[in-house]
Chain A
Amino acid sequence: MNPINRLGGRRLNLKNRLEEPEESLPRRHRPDYWLVIIVVILLVIGLVVIYSIGTALGLANNVSNNFYINRQLLAIALSVVAFLAASKIPLVWWKKYYKLIIAAATVATLIAIAMPVNPQYPAHRWVRLGSLSFQSVELVTFAVVIWLAKFLSDRIKNKQLSNTRKAFLPLVVALVVMGAVIAGVQSDLGSIGVILGIMTICIFVAGMPLKKIVTVSVLIAIVGILAISLTPYRRARLESFLHPSSNCLTSGYQSCQALIAVGSGGLLGLGLGRSVQAYGYLPESANDSIFAIYSEKFGFIGDMVLIGLFVALFTRIKRIAVQAPNNFTKLLSVGILTWLSIQAVINIGAMIGLLPLKGITLPLISYGGTSMLFVMLAIGILFQISRYTSYVQLNRNDSGDKQKERLNDDHTDRGRLRRAYNATPSGRP
């Protein structure tokens, strides 16, 4: 037993700090408004693109020209509420009530599976209420991110990360169950891929031995190859990815049209109102293919701006993750970073012919309410975490008194330092 434990109240205090650092967060300070600014710009870009192809979408789906933009505005309004809520909810709540979220995700998935399917999209992926629909897998992904942060931070705390039975097995079981339901029943290989990516990266970041990760990866690769080779349309997609030009009229149609859209944008793009590919050539122009339509409109320059914005977003999130006050919030931030970045990479990669098509939306840009809602909820959580970040750039040099002192006292970077200390406690955010 650690001798410190027997040293009385002062030492017990210290123990508390060590064992449950999450309960005693550093002082609140000014949150990361840059995060919000970047997110708002991305949302506006998405709205502009969806608005500008409203006519094409209306024609293709036999709805009014404003149908899509109105629904997207509604989704964003709901998402802003979610963001505000998440930015107020104490971070410990997520940890305390993660089981509720998992339960909600399970129920939503069961309802989606039980619901009669839409003949146009014969997959059990949606919960429908009147004209609103809800994609259960988005909630599942969100739940996975929360659960992973809680689970892994607990395992780190208990030093059980290398324990096969305590740490590894539950993860594998969770993956197998989700794989069976999402890939098997809901036939949504893209989403399970995203979840798998989130899990793998979070486990790696948490510090699980690489050997285990590699073992599981090999197993998953085998299952994945089987899943693809047993389903004709997936095989066709992969085939068309490997030989894009030979299948332009059949299975590779969307890939070809996406490349044409991106390429024909050129340096400056065709202009906001001048996308042609949205008019029936490129399927899913508001959702999966929105990056290609954006590229067609705004060209290479526009793409640099958009990718720059995503890089900025990811950089802010990474920064929040690195500076987050404890392992739960760190892993939560990493989970969200992984979630958003994997979706962005899969989506853009498919549009520029580097990855096969997976039916994954581009976060904050694509049309789609459920995705928007949970992404904004996650952004709200990040925003909340950013109130408690500390300048803990320990890196490899974590010995030496000065830096340890900074760990304890210096919660902010230099710019915020002055404001934080000059302000009265009541005036602090």
Chain B
Amino acid sequence: MKPSFSMPTLVSGVSRRANIIYLVLMIIMGIFVVRLFYIQIIKYGYYHAAALSDQQKEYQIPATRGIIEAHQGNSIVPIVLNQELYTLFVDPTLVHQPKKVAATIAGVIGGSASNYQQEMQIKGTRYVVLARKLTKAQSSQILAYKYPGVGTQGQDYRSYPDGDLASQTLGFVNNNGQGEYGLEQALNSELAGTPGKLKAITDANGVPLAAVPGNIDRAPIPGDNIITTLNMGIQAQMEQILKSEYKKTKSQRVSALVMDPYNGQVVAMANYPTYNPANYSAVSNPSVFQNGVVDDDIEPGSSMKTLTTSAALNLGAITPNESFYDPAHWVIDGFNITDIKQDGGAREQNIASILALSLNTGATWMLMQMSHPGGTQITGHGIDAWYNYMTNHFRLGRITGIQQGYESPGYVPPPNLADPSIDLRYANTAFGQGVQLTAIQLGAALSSVLNGGTYYQPTLVDATVKPDGTVVKFKPKVLEKNVVKPNIGPELVPLMQNVVKAYLQGGFYFMNFPSNYMVGGKTGTAQVAQPGGGYYANIYNGTYVGFVGQGKPQYVIVVYNIKPNIPGYAGSYGGQPIFADLVHMLINDGYITPN
């Protein structure tokens, strides 16, 4: 008899149950295969997209912004440069010890640790800017701690070796890299260049992974450098002059322009008060950003008479030496146009005295001559002629196109003959009321008369320098030929010189210039329109337009003094001294080319 074994039964029980476990395990493996098929094959598109949305990042690589340069003596010097500063940011979801990190940051760059800590705990965002404009040293110091979620990003900022020099003319660059105001705004696309593009699969910290195909890497194209027409010496002195006059006259703003009438190039252009563009964000009143030379379109007052005279001369309605009987007042559309009492009442006057004494009746008379030579009526013919000269020949009422942000077009009332008071309106525009001009428009228009009849677009750009170093010289752009006949300039010059002489004789001793220089000008004192109609009783704008040169007018100068707080005529006492200072400066510092 064989023994009965119990072992084999037990062994087989263990084996059988081991097989059951194995079977369960194989079923689980089968489930895994099915699940992997679902994830990797069926849902591949979803996870592929999810992966890319996490891993693929698109960066704009900022292009280096072009610098801005200017003339100083015979050399070209930078007035706007770039400086790399760093923006400190955190990803709040990655910051482990906000208190410690905040304390470290405050230790390096100053500021309030508790504020930093608060910002590091902002929920629902992965990008919080803690501070801007850190130096490279500060940036590396913070990065050396290797705190997770803390990073810095280099960014070019503008730097200004000459501080606030020409600030309104230059403008500034905002935090988004966009130029605002001035040249920076007008030439933003040239200066900015073309940003590069980087589309890449990156690691979790945003560092592109080299091994992954399909990345796009396009290098940025730097912006053009701009060489301006500005003369640093004249600009700097002009700013000093404006500053001191501003303090004397307690104006709202003083602005001045020096330009070359023979090519439209602006040599100097400034305003006061001013600001430092490196610190533009500290400016509380944004009106200080405005370049008054191109933006303040005011009623110029009597300086307008230079343009009315030029138009009348060119039309042959008057001759330079013509005399006429000034009745001291005209009644037009039921209103009196009068001269001021000091002018001596009704008497014989001539063209020179119209400008020297700034006779409003004289300007009105010139418009009458444009209507009908010898007549004393304003007609539609005269109105149309004046309007045509101002808008088509002198290009008033539209922007000049100088490379500045926010240029004003000014305003010339349309010759609407159906308007019952159109004659009165135009009698006023003839001497500079009811018409609005910017200083740059006035300067460019007078330039076109003085240079023999060519209207050059005023410009601030002398040349652009391409990234490869090519210098592209900026050609003067002629916008209008035959503005006036070539002889009108030489006829106007002595008339305006006579104005200077008359002021000197009238006791304005600062208007005493060396006799071998040709200095002419015209004041303007304009009433300031009230919003809602009428004019302020005691508020005036002072303007001045003039020229200086030897043998020929070399520079055209325009001065706007907005709402000076002074007794006497704003043009004579607010505008004229600035003009005089500028002319003295140009003469004394040798900026006038000898004849």
Contacts and interface: CB of A to CB of B under 8 A. Distances in A.
A18 B5 contact: yes
B13 A341 contact: no
Interface string A255-281: 001011111111100000110110111
B36 A207 contact: no
Interface in A358-400: 392, 394-396, 398
Nearest to A206: B14
A327 B50 contact: no
A310 interface: yes
Interface string B1-42: 001011111111111111101100110110111011101110
Interface stretch (B204-212, B292-300, B366-374): B204-212
Contact of A276 (B11, B26, B209): B209
Interface string B210-248: 011000000000000000000000000000000000000
A371 to B, nearest CB: 20
B365 to A, nearest CB: 81
A263 B51 contact: yes
Contacts of A337: 18, 21-22, 25
Contact of B36 (A260, A303, A334): A303
A193 interface: no
A59 B16 CA distance: 50
A404 interface: yes
Contacts, number: 165
Contacts of B5: 18, 404
A264 B36 contact: no
B61 to A, nearest CB: 21
A249 interface: yes
Nearest to B21: A201
B163 to A, nearest CB: 45
Given A266-B48, A295-B36, A281 B17 contact: no
A404 B8 CA distance: 9
A362 to B, nearest CB: 12
Contacts of A315: 22
Given A14-B3, A201-B21, A279-B204, A263 B39 contact: yes
B54 interface: yes
Contacts of B8: 392, 394, 398, 404, 407
Contact of B43 (A263, A345, A348): A263
Contacts of B29: 307, 310-311, 314
Given A260-B51, A318-B22, A334-B18, A398 B12 contact: yes
Contact of B47 (A18, A263, A330, A349): A263
Contacts of A263: 39-40, 43-44, 46-48, 50-51
B333 interface: no
A304 B18 CA distance: 24
B550 interface: no
A196 interface: no
Contacts of A277: 51, 55
Interface in A210-234: none
Given A201-B21, A264-B48, A281-B204, A327 B11 contact: yes
A260 B47 CA distance: 5
Contacts of B31: 354
A391 to B, nearest CB: 12
Interface string A294-330: 0100011001100100110011001001100011001
B18 A349 contact: no
- Interface of chain A, helix or strand or loop or mixed? helix
A205 B534 CA distance: 108
A404 B3 CA distance: 12
Nearest to A261: B51
Contacts of B496: none
B203 interface: yes
Contacts of B6: 18
Contacts of B32: 307, 345, 348-349, 352, 354
Given A249-B93, A259-B39, A277-B51, A205 B21 contact: yes
A379 to B, nearest CB: 17
Nearest to B126: A249
Contact of B16 (A14, A345, A395): A395
A25 interface: no
A347 to B, nearest CB: 11
B36 A262 contact: yes
A352 B39 CA distance: 8
A156 interface: yes
Interface residues of B, number: 49
Nearest to A280: B204
Contacts of B39: 259, 262-263, 352-353
Contact of A300 (B13, B16, B36, B209): B36
Given A14-B3, A18-B7, A266-B48, A314 B22 contact: yes
A194 interface: no
Nearest to A161: B10
A334 B40 contact: no
Nearest to B46: A263
A322 B18 contact: yes
B25 A341 contact: yes
A109 interface: no
A26 to B, nearest CB: 13
A4 to B, nearest CB: 6
Contacts of B51: 260-261, 263-264, 276-277
A220 B19 CA distance: 25
Interface string B74-99: 00000000000000000001000000
Contacts of B12: 392, 394-396, 398
Contact of B18 (A21, A205, A299, A396): A205
B267 interface: no
A338 interface: yes
A395 B211 CA distance: 55
B355 interface: no
A18 B10 CA distance: 12
Contact of A204 (B21, B37, B43): B21
A161 to B, nearest CB: 10
Nearest to B23: A318
A331 interface: yes
A322 B203 CA distance: 48
B201 interface: yes
Given A14-B3, A21-B7, A279-B209, A334 B50 contact: no
B33 A398 contact: no
A314 B21 CA distance: 11
Contacts of A127: none
A262 to B, nearest CB: 5
A303 B55 contact: no
A21 B7 CA distance: 9
B338 to A, nearest CB: 79
A265 B18 contact: no
Interface in A277-293: 277, 279-281
Nearest to B40: A300
A318 B19 contact: yes
Interface in B42-70: 43-44, 46-48, 50-51, 54-55
Nearest to A14: B3
A56 interface: yes
B47 A264 contact: yes
Contacts of A311: 26, 29
A189 to B, nearest CB: 20
Contact of A205 (B9, B14, B41, B204): B14
A91 to B, nearest CB: 16
Given A277-B51, A327-B11, 7 more contacts: A276-B51, A279-B202, A281-B204, A322-B19, A349-B32, A353-B35, A395-B12
25 contacts: A21-B7, A156-B10, A205-B21, A206-B14, A206-B17, A263-B39, A263-B43, A264-B47, A264-B50, A265-B40, A267-B44, A277-B51, A277-B55, A281-B204, A300-B37, A304-B36, A322-B15, A330-B11, A330-B18, A331-B14, A341-B25, A345-B28, A395-B15, A398-B12, A407-B8
The 6 A-B residue pairs with the shortest CB-CB distance, nearest first, are A263-B47, A280-B204, A279-B203, A264-B51, A300-B40, A394-B12
